[in-house]
Structure 1
Amino acid sequence: MENLIPFTVTDLSKITNHRSGEIKFGEKMLTMPIDEDPILFLNSCDAKYVLFGIPEDIGVRANYGRPGTATAWECAIKSIANIQHNRFCKGSQILVLGQLDVIQDMKKVAHLNFNKVDDRTKLSQLVEKIDKEVSHIIFNIIKSGKIPIIIGGGHNNAYGNIKGTALAKGKSINSINFDAHSDFRILEGRHSGNGFSYVYEEGFLKKYFIFGLHENYTSKSVLDILKKTDDRVRYNTYESINIRKEKEFNQEMTLALEFIETDPFGIEIDLDAIPNIASSAMTPSGFSIEQLRLFITFFAKNKNASYIHICEGAPELCYDKNNHLIGKLIGYLVTDFIKAKNCIEQL
Structure 2
Amino acid sequence: MENLIRFKQSDLAKITNFRNGEVKFGEKMITVPKDEKVIDFITHCEAKYVILGIPEDVGIRANLGRPGANTAWESAIRSIANIQHNRFCKGSSIIILGQVDVSQEMNLAKNLDENNPEERKQLFKIVEQLDKEVSHIIFSIVKAGKIPIIIGGGHNNAYGNIKGTALAKGKSINAINFDAHSDFRILEGRHSGNGFSYAFEEGFLKKYFIFGLHESYTSKSVLDSIKKIEDRVRYNTYDEIKIKRNKNYEQQMIESLEFIKNDSFGIEIDLDAIPNIATSAMTLSGFSVEELRQFIYYFSQNQNASYIHICEGAPSLSEEKNSHLIGKLIGYLVTDFIKGNSQV
Fold match (TM-score > 0.5): yes
- Kept in 1: contact 2:55–2:73 (CA 8 A): yes
Moved more, 259-268 or 40-49: 40-49
Question: In structure 2, what is the equivalent of residue 203 of structure 1?
Answer: 203
C-alpha distance in 2, partners of 1:21/1:115? 54
What residue identity is the alignment partner of 1:96? I
- Kept in 1: contact 2:276–2:282 (CA 8 A): yes
Question: In structure 2, what is the equivalent of residue 55 of structure 1?
Answer: 55
Per-residue deviation, 1:320? 3.5
Question: In structure 1, what is the equivalent of residue 227 of structure 2?
Answer: 227
- Superposition TM-score, scaled by structure 2 size: 0.99
C-alpha distance in 1, partners of 2:118/2:44? 45
What residue identity is the alignment partner of 2:60? V
Question: In structure 2, what is the equivalent of residue 4 of structure 1?
Answer: 4
Per-residue deviation, 1:333? 0.2
Question: In structure 2, what is the equivalent of residue 279 of structure 1?
Answer: 279
1:187-207 deviation digits (Å, cap 9, x = unpaired): 000000000000000000000
Question: In structure 2, what is the equivalent of residue 135 of structure 1?
Answer: 135
Question: In structure 1, what is the equivalent of residue 35 of structure 2?
Answer: 35
Question: In structure 2, what is the equivalent of residue 189 of structure 1?
Answer: 189
Moved more, 43-52 or 22-31: 43-52
Per-residue deviation, 1:55? 0.2
Per-residue deviation, 1:177? 0.2
C-alpha distance in 1, partners of 2:160/2:302? 22
Question: Is 1:157 the equivalent of 2:165?
Answer: no
Question: What pairs up with 1:244-263 in 2 under 5 angstroms?
Answer: 244-263=244-263
Per-residue deviation, 1:15? 0.2
Per-residue deviation, 1:108? 1.5
Question: In structure 1, what is the equivalent of residue 108 of structure 2?
Answer: 108
C-alpha distance in 2, partners of 1:342/1:117? 47
Per-residue deviation, 1:140? 0.6
C-alpha distance in 2, partners of 1:273/1:155? 12
Question: Is 1:118 the equivalent of 2:118?
Answer: yes
Question: Is 1:86 the equivalent of 2:86?
Answer: yes
Per-residue deviation, 1:89? 0.2
Question: In structure 1, what is the equivalent of residue 326 of structure 2?
Answer: 326
Report the 3-state secondary structure (helix = DSSP H, G, I; strand = E; otherwise coil) of the residue aligned with 1:42.
helix
What residue identity is the alignment partner of 2:249? F
1:108-152 deviation digits (Å, cap 9, x = unpaired): 211111111221111010100010111000001001110000000
What residue identity is the alignment partner of 1:156? N
Alignment identity in percent?
72
Report the 3-state secondary structure (helix = DSSP H, G, I; strand = E; otherwise coil) of the residue aligned with 1:13.
helix
Report the 3-state secondary structure (helix = DSSP H, G, I; strand = E; otherwise coil) of the residue aligned with 2:343.
helix
C-alpha distance in 2, partners of 1:190/1:114? 13
Moved more, 177-186 or 30-39: 30-39
- Kept in 1: contact 2:135–2:160 (CA 8 A): yes
1:243-273 deviation digits (Å, cap 9, x = unpaired): 1100000000000000000100000000000
Question: In structure 1, what is the equivalent of residue 99 of structure 2?
Answer: 99
C-alpha distance in 2, partners of 1:286/1:115? 29
Report the 3-state secondary structure (helix = DSSP H, G, I; strand = E; otherwise coil) of the residue aligned with 1:106.
helix
Question: In structure 1, what is the equivalent of residue 170 of structure 2?
Answer: 170
Question: In structure 2, what is the equivalent of residue 311 of structure 1?
Answer: 311
C-alpha distance in 1, partners of 2:17/2:104? 31
Question: In structure 1, what is the equivalent of residue 292 of structure 2?
Answer: 292
Structure 1 moving runs of 4+ over 4 Å: none
Per-residue deviation, 1:34? 1.1
Per-residue deviation, 1:319? 2.4
C-alpha distance in 2, partners of 1:189/1:142? 27
Report the number of matched residues: 344
Per-residue deviation, 1:44? 1.6
Question: In structure 2, what is the equivalent of residue 239 of structure 1?
Answer: 239
C-alpha distance in 1, partners of 2:149/2:45? 16
- Kept in 1: contact 2:105–2:130 (CA 8 A): no
C-alpha distance in 2, partners of 1:68/1:37? 33
Per-residue deviation, 1:35? 3.0
C-alpha distance in 2, partners of 1:36/1:318? 39
1:296-342 deviation digits (Å, cap 9, x = unpaired): 01100000000000000000000241010000000000000000011
Moved more, 101-110 or 17-26: 101-110
- Kept in 1: contact 2:68–2:280 (CA 8 A): yes
Per-residue deviation, 1:39? 1.2
What residue identity is the alignment partner of 1:212? G
Report the 3-state secondary structure (helix = DSSP H, G, I; strand = E; otherwise coil) of the residue aligned with 1:136.
helix
Q: 5+ residue gaps in structure 1?
A: none
